[in-house]
Amino acid sequence: MCPKYEAASDILGKKWTGRLIRVLLGGPKRFKEIKEQIPEMSDKMLTDRMKELEAEGIIKRTVYPEMPVRIEYELTLKGKELQPVIETIQKWGEAWM
């Protein structure tokens, strides 16, 4: 098996990752906005996935020094490149699930 395929599959195969990427394909979001779109995901799991995807260079976290501090999450170019993958999964799900 190709190690690059395995690495990509390991990242995308984790629970919630696909949904999180799909939400962020709509543009930058705050934690609360993401949580509203995936309410069944716990805060801890959302935080963990965000950290993992940030470490992989898929998500970018931006802190705005306002009062109160505003933090937004958005896809990097690497993350945006997943759009056709997510759309294909969506189409497959509509056809077969």
User: What is 2-96's CATH number, 3.40.50.620, 3.20.20.150, 3.90.79.10, 1.10.10.10?
Assistant: 1.10.10.10
What's the confidence (pLDDT) of residue 1? 77
Spell out where the chain has E strands.
59-64, 70-75
Between 68 and 1, whose confidence is greater?
A: 68
SS3 state at 10: helix
What are the tokens at 11? 């990242």
- pLDDT tens sequence across 10-26: 999 999 999 999 999 99
- pLDDT tens sequence across 32-63: 999 999 999 999 999 999 999 999 999 999 99
What are the tokens at 41? 């995901």
Sorted by where each begins, the domain ranges of the chain are 2-96
Asked if residues 59 and 79 have their Cβ atoms less than 8 Å apart, the reply is yes
- pLDDT tens sequence across 64-84: 998 999 999 999 999 999 999
**What is the model's pTM?**
0.90
